[in-house]
Structure formats: C-alpha cells, structure tokens
Structure 1
Amino acid sequence: TQHIRASLKTGDILNTSVKEVRRILECDRVVVYSMNSDNHGMIVAESVAPGWTRAKGKVINDPCFESRYLDKYRNGRVRAWGNIYEAGMTKCYIEQLEQLEVKANLVTPIINEGKLFGLLVAHQCSDFRQWQHPEIRWVTQIATQVGFALDNAKLLEQLQEANQKSDRVSDQQHEQTEALKHQVVEILSDKVDAYQTLSQEAMRQSETTINVLHQIQKVADSFSGIALNVQQVKFQEQQNDLAVQGTQESLDRAVNSISNIQHTVQNVAVGFDKISHSSQKLAEAVNTIKDLSKQLVQQSMSITRSINRSQIEESSQNSIIDLSDTLFSLMQQLFEATAKVEPLFANIKAEVREKTIALDSGTQQLISGIGEFQTVRQKLERVVALNHKMNTLIENIAKSVENQTQSSAFAKDSVQEVASIAERISAQSMTITQSFNQLVVLVQKL
C-alpha cells in the first residue's frame, strides 16, 4: 500500500499495483482491465511471468461480459474462479480467457470517484488454482487502496494541472499585462494625437458651421429682400394692369368714336355729293332761265319794233311800249342777276368739289388711323396677355421665394443646432484630450 500510494501518477500506481500483487500472490499474470466510455475494456497495466502471452494494450470486446457481469462489478462484486471451465462461464468469455492462456482467475473491481474504473485481475496460467479467502480479502483491500490512490493521484494531477495552469495563466497575464501596458500607452499616445486632431477638427467644424450659418443668414436676408421686391413688383403689376385696362377702355372708346366719326364723315360726303348734284341742277336751271330771259328780251325787242310799225292807237301803243320797256328792263335785270348767279354756283361747285376731295382724303386718313388704332389695340391685347403671363410668373416666383425663405429659416435653425452641437463636441474633445493626457501619465506610472 505504501508503494502504491508513493506513486503520484496513474500509470505508476497501476504498474506498482500489478507488480506487487503478482509478487505477493506468486501468480503468472496480474492485469488492470480499464473500462472506457462505451463499456468496452482495454488492459492498461500488466505484470506477467516470463513465457506467457503479454496482454497489455489488448482491447477486449466481450458483449457477454457486458451483459452478465458489468453491473455486478459496479456494485462491488469480487469473483474467484479456480477452474474457468467449471465456473459456468459463457463460451465467449472462456474464449477470451483462452487467448491469454488463463486457467484460473481472481477478479476484483477498482472503484474510482464512486464509479467503476476497471478490474484488478490475477491470472493463473500454469495450472488450476484454488484462491484462499485471505488472498481474496487482501486483493480486495489492494483494489480499494488502488481506487484511493487513483483518487489522490487524480486530485494531485488536477492540482498540478491547476497550479501549472495558474502559473501559465499568471505568466500569460503578466505578459498580457506588459503587452497591454505597452499597447495602452501606444494607443493612448495615438489617441491623444487623434483626439487633439479631432478637437482641432471640431473647432474648425464649429467655425465653418458658424460661417455657413452667416452665409445662410445672408441668403435668408437676400430671399427676404427678393420677397419684398416681388411684392413691390406685384403691386406695380397690379397698377400696370389697371393702367392697361384703363388704356384699353379708352382705346375702345376712341375706336368707337372714330367709327362714329367715320360714319358721320361718310354721311357728310354723301350730303356733299347731294349738294353738288343739286348745285349742278340749279346751275342748269339758272342757265335755262338765262336763256329764256335772253329769248324774252329778244321777243320783247321784236314786239316793240312790231308795235312801232303797226297802226295801233297811240294810247294803247304807249301802254304796250311802257309794258314792253318794263318787261325788257326786268328781263334785263333777270339776265344780269342770272349772269351774276352763275359764277357763284361755279364757285360753290368748285368749293363743294374741293371740300369733297378734302373730305375724301380725310376719310382715307381716318380709315388709315382706324387701322392703326386696330393694330395698336391688337398690340395692347398682346401686352395684356403677356402681362397676365408675367403676373403668373411673378406669382410662381413669389411662391418659390416664400418656400426658399421657409427652407432658409429651417436650414438656419438646423445649422444653429449643428453649430451648438459642434461647440459642445469641441468642448468635450478638449476635455477628453486632457483626460487622455492624464491617463497616459497614470499608465506610465503604473
């Protein structure tokens, strides 16, 4: 037991165990049959006398053993067979033992951590053997001590592994701490420069944002001025609309008046034509009267000569002569008056013709003026249409300016907020930079 417990490793414990058990029992072979996870076993330790088959490393896949004996050994069963052929073993189990030249065996379980670690088995190969009760008890005690030694060895191995792991972890932590220290110093040094750069960039960004804010304010002021000018233009356009509307109405009245004048002039021209025609007829009538007067004068003279030659009473003759003289005088006056009237009618006719020509020329000029008025009126209508389009365009410009003014106001507010954030970022960057400088110093001290 002291030899077994003096060993500190599982392999040494098992090898010492089989060696000492075979020495005390003076048997041909002692093995440790270890169970694996699938309940199949392998011989992991062996002490064998010269001349017998070596079994170490042999894998035993015995379904008969598993089905009939495994649970019993877990419960601490110890079996001793002096003759394997008379023990009632299964054929497959006997065949496994015959491969190792076994004729008698003693089997005790090794319990480790409350579980079946394996079997401590003594083989007698030279002949059959009746195992004695002290031998069986002693082997059982040895198996128990092996289990305890395995527990201690496992604990010791775990402790050593833990110590080694702890040492490795400590070394790794020390190395990591040193590396981390250098990394932290390098990173902090880099970050200090980065944060200083960030702080400077933040300050420049703040200044740039403020400049942008001023530019936006100027743009907003410009839009306000444009909006005011647009309002003035709209007012002026309204005044122009009223003026154009008044001019258009005046032009319509002028055109209507000229049209009335044209009709009047046409009527006057017709009247002049009628007067000219009447004057012509009157002149013809005057000429007829003149001719008749001339004929009457001639007839009167003939009558006077006839009277002078005829034999009429002197009183009657005198009366007729007086009447003839009077008639002649009247006819003479009528002829003279007719002669005076004829130039007047000629002058009237000439003046009527001249006035008619002048009236025709004025009528033509008036007609030409009406055409020019119509052209001006059409141009004025086009101006009115263009003015309406201009009003629509100005309305659209006014709406766009209003939208741009609102957008400028929103952009101004947004940029003001961004400027405020940039100022806070700049201040925080300066604070972080100072903190990093202090942290670098502290890490270097650590």
Structure 2
Amino acid sequence: MGYRFDSANKSKNSSLAYLLLPSQLMIDNSRVSEPRKLNITTSLSSNKSFFGWFYNLILNRKHLIALISCELVSILGIAIGTKFFINQSLATQLTEQTKSELAVNDVDYHASFNKLKSQIELPLESRAILDEAVAANTAQIVTKHAVLGNKTYIMPHQALTNKIIGYVGKSDRYKVVEKRQSLAILVQRTPDKSINNVLTQSWLLQIVLVLLAFLLIAIWTFILRRSIIKPVSHLQQATEKFAAGDRNVRVQVFANDEIGKLAVSFNKMADSITKEFRRQENDAKLIEKLNQITIRLREVLSSEKIIKTAVSDIRDALQSDRVLFYSLDDHWQGKIIAKSVDYSWLSDSEENLSNPYFGEEYSDELAIGTVKTVHDIYDNNFSHSYLHQLESQAVKAYLLTPVFINRKLYGLLVIHQCSHERYWRDIEIYLFKQIAVQIGYALEQAELTQQIEQGRQTAKTSSWEEQQHQQALQNQVLELLDDVEGVVRGDLTVRADVNEGEIGTVADFFNSIVESLRDIIIKVKVSIVQLDEAIGSNETKVCYLTQQALAQTNEISRILDAVEQMTIAMQAVASSTQQAAQVANTVANTATKTGKAMDTTVENILTLREIVGKTAKKIKHLGQSTQEISRVIALINEISMQSNLLAINAGIEAERMGEESQGFVVVVEEVSELAARSAQATKEVAEIVENIQQETNEVVEAMQEGITQVTQGTQIVEDVKHDLSLILDISQQIDTLVQSISTATIYGVQTSQTVSELMKQVATNSQSTSESSMQVSKSLQKTVKISQQLQETLVGLKVN
C-alpha cells in the first residue's frame, strides 16, 4: 500500500491523503455495522396519588412548586436548547469547513497526482475510518471525531472511486455510466481545541446564568412569599378565626395591591358583620326584655302596678332618661300616674301639665299601634309654646304612643331623652310600640279580671242573700201554715209570729182575724148558755101553764107576771140574738178582709216570684257574659296558636337560611315560648271562666228551686185562702142561724105579748090560751133544737 504526502497543504491544515491501490483494497462488508437508530420513549406517570397530593397542598406550596417548576423549565429549557443549538451550529460549521477543505484537497490531489516524486508512508491511526469510508455511499463525506494521542480531531473522509462517463441513450449530456471500486480515501484532520474552548466558555457562562437565575428565583420567591403568600396565609387564618367566632380578629394591611385591598375589604366586612352581630345581639336582648316585660305585665292584675312596672322596665330596656305615663280624660286633660326618671333629670314641671303634647290637636294621628318619633325637637316644625314646654323639661328627643283599652284612648306613654339628641332605631320603636300594646292588653286583662271578680262576689253575695231571704220566707210561710192548720183544727188560741216583711203583715192580719173569731165564739157560747137557761126556765113554765091553764084561772095574775117576766127574758134573748147577729156579721166581714189580705199575700208572693225570676235572668245574663269572655279567650287562644304557627314557619325558614340566622332562630324560639306561655295563661283564664260559669249555673239552679218553692208557697197560701173561704161560709151559716134565732126570739116576744093579751082574756077563752101555750111550747122546742145545733157547732172550737 502506498501513500502520497501533500507537503503543500501540510503546514496549512495538516491534512493527510491516503491512497489505497485497487489490488490492495479489501473490503469486508461483514464488519460494517448497521447504522444506529435513536429510540426515544417518553413515559407519562399516571399515578393519580400524585395529583391528589398536589391538589391537597395549601395555596402557597402550590404557588411555590408551580413557580419553581415554571422557572426551572424555562431556564433549563433555554440553557439546554441554547447549548444544543450552539453545539449543532458549531459542529455544522466545522463540518462544512472541513468538507470545503477536503474538496479543495480533492482538486489539488487530482491536479498533482501524476507529479508526485516521492512517497511518504504515514501510519494510519484508525482502520475504522477506512471501513466507514468504504461502507458509506460513493462520494459521500463522512465526518467523525477521533482521538490521536492526547488531542481530539474532526476527521471528515471520502472514498474516491473510478467512474465511467459517457452518453446514455440519445442524451447529449455526459452522465456517470458505471462506478468501479474505490481507488483511494481522502481524509482531512482538523483539531477541535478552539471549539472546545468556545464550548467550555459557553458552559461556564451558562452555569453562571443558571446560578444567577436560581438566585433571582430565590429572591423573587422570598418577595412573592412575603408579598402574596404570607398575606394570603394571614388572611386565610384571620378568616378561619373569624368564622370560628373571634369577632376581634383583623388583617394587617401590608400593601395597596389586590391582597391589600382584599384585606381592607375583609376588615370592613368584619367590622360590618361585628357591628351587625352586636346589633342583632342588642336586638335579641331587647326582644328578650320585651318578653320579660310582657310576662311581668301579665302576672300583675292591678292597673296601677302594671303601669309602674311598665315605665320602669321600659327605661331600663331602652336606656332612656325619663319615661312618663299620662292618663287622659274625655276632655284631653292629662295627669301623670306613673313615671321613671334618672336622678340627674328629676323635674317637677311635668306634674303641672294638664294637656300634655297637645294630644287633642294630634288626635287623628293617635291610632292603635302608632308611634310619634322625634329624633331632635329642633328638626320638627313645633309651635313656640310646645317647644317651650319641651325645653322646660330638658327634652332633646322623645317617643310617644297612645295606650288603648277596649279601643278607647286611655293614656299616653312617653320616653324622653334629655342628655342629647337620639336617633331612635327601628327595633326600639317596635319594642316601644309592642310594650304599649301589651300595656293595653294587660290593663284590659286587669279590668276584665276585676269585673269578673266583682261579678263573682256580687253573684255570690246576691245568691247568699236570696237564699237567706228565701229560707226566711219559707220558714215564715211554714210557721204561718202551721198556725193556719191549728185554726182549721179549731184551736183559736194559736197566734202567728209577727216579723218584718209581707209574711209578717199576713201574720198580723191572721192574728187579728183569729182574735176576732175567738171573741165572737166566746160571745156566742155565752149567748147559747143564756138561751139554754132561758128556754129551760120558760119551758117549765109553759108546760105548767099548758097543763094548768084550764084549772088555774085564779092564778092568771101570777101567770101574767110570769108572762111579763118571760117577755122581758125574750127581749133580752132578742137583744143577745141581735148582738150574735152583729158578731156573725163582724166575723163575715173579718173573713172577707182576711181573704183580701190573703189575696195581697198572694200578690206579694207573686211579686217576690217575679223578682226572683228577674234575678235569675240577670244571673243568666252574667253567664252569657262569661260565655262572651270564653269567646274572647278562645280568640286569644287562636291568636296564640297562630303566633306559634308563625314561629314554627319562621324556624323552618331560619333553618333553611343556615348559620347566618342563628340570632333569628333564638328570636323565633322566644316567640314560640311566648306563644306557649300565652296559650297556658289563656287556658288558666278559661278554667277560671269555666268555674265562674259553673257557679253561675248553680246559682241559676238555686234560683229556679227558689221559684219552685215560691210557687209552692203560693199554692199553700191559696189553700189557706180556701180554708178562710170555708171559715167565711161557716160564719155566714152562723149568721143565718143567729138570724133565725133572732127571728124566733122576736116571734117569742110577740107570742109573749099575745099570751099576755090572752092571759087577760083567759077568763073568756081558755081554749085560745091553751092553743097559744102549745104554740109557744113548739116554738121553744124549735129554739132548743137550733141552740143545740149551734152548741154542737161551737164545741170543736178552742178559745181558752
């Protein structure tokens, strides 16, 4: 194998040209390896736990990882890309340069190939270069780095082959017709020390840039952490503390950027929420105080205590300087009946007010549930006198509302703020209005309770008095009936007890009638005894006269004297008979008067019955009034049930709204509890009213029993009247008998006169005397019979 050294180019580029003779060039294709293929595979981790871990990181760590990753990717990408681009550029430039040099050498080689006069054999450092040149395509330049000694060279090389050039077909241009075996290999060797120096400086520069980039990243990371992450972390911690209930936590404003503005907004929001929360707490406390005031007002049943309790509790609840309650009459003249004043604002000027707040002028505005609100007395168009009146009491602001009882204006409730002007909040106005309404309800309840108690006491007293009066009347009537039964039995010694009232009057009349009957009976008995004696005596004499009439002519004078004595006796009997007739007439008149008195008694009893009936009607009306009270209680119970239902609906709505309505839930629970207490109070009042109705029904039943007993007493008096009618009939019969006796006595007197005349004519006509004597005897027998009948009638009468 021979070599040719090109000394002309040695000093310039140290190139070597290796000539390979055809006979000596042996190519072993089996030793030529296949080109290496770069198989780049990229695997993407699909571990979901990494994403889960990343997603669960806090914001500052996410931001830090993302920032570092982005910066590192950017810096490393720029560095590696720049490095790769520079290396590729330099390598390409150097390769092109060596190829150019090799092409120049190729030209020089062909020009001076035949002029070589000497051959220099140089050692071939690497047989692999020749193998790669032969294995490459024909005329293709192959570039490769090779280490010769302690230096690295860039060695492009190209195989030279024999070419046959000629025409192909009908073409008029030369083309390569055939390529033969390689004849030689051209090798250009260029050291890469300068390139390595450039690359080393590039690496040093890139390392410095990377270190500066890392330093800059660290600085910016610290700055961003201090300016963004740390304020955000503080804001997040403050938000958590605030959500946990710490209302005093606030965020320090670090800068005026978005986070600083967010911190300012958070502080403002916290202040607003804290203020609203405290306002809600105060409102809840006010509502709780309203409930307590309402409960205390309902527990008190005295109007004076209700008003005093209300004004004191209102001043404590609203923290005002003065609370007054004016009572108004029909002429709008007022009087302070209760007040609660701070000791520093005590004043006697309000005591002299007779027309407070000119209520009559604003009567149209004083409706139920209205509140006159004055935040500053000088901001309203008040009259000079009204303003002077307020200034005299040091009033700066006030609230005024009317209090009604049964829809009638009862008074004015006023709150004074004397220390300064005051803007009255809606919750305070609402509380003030509700307390005024509750005062009206409490006063109505107290008044109704007093009326119920008075009605109960009146009904109880009236019922007791009626029972006592009825019992006394019943006892008096029974006693009078016992006395009347005694008279009916013939006991004229009975005397009725004379008491006050109608029964006493009847008893007095009864005693007078019985006394008159007793006197008449005594006189009749005496007259009957005298009549019996006279008849007995005259009967003996008449019998003697009849038997001895014909034989005792000589004794006519003595008989005439006896007849004259009999005539005198008969006249006495006639006089007694007339007196008995007068007594019988008196008895009849007395019985008639007694009948009239009994009629009066019946009328009085009927009047008493009517009075008892009216009393029963009044008690029934009282029962109806208690039923009206029951209806009102039912209405109150219905209102309580509706309040409870509204409280349940409000509680459901509050639960739907979530945690932001916890204060409202407390209010709803208090309202529900208030509704339950109202229902319990209504139930107790309903029980009281039910007891009153029951007692009223018992009183009505007792009055009905009294009416029944009065009716029975009326019937008894009717029976007494009937018995007196019987007595009147008996008296009339006695009068008839006495009249008969009187007639018989008169007839006896006439007979005695006739006998006297006949006795004078006895001498001439004995027969006539005997007949007259027989007639007298018969008349005396009749008189005896009548006397016996009268005596039998009077036997049953007890006069002693």
Same fold at TM > 0.5: no
Normalized per residue, which structure has more helix?
A: 1
**TM-score using structure 2 length:** 0.26
Which structure's relative contact order is higher, taking Cα pairs within 8 Å and 6+ residues apart? 1
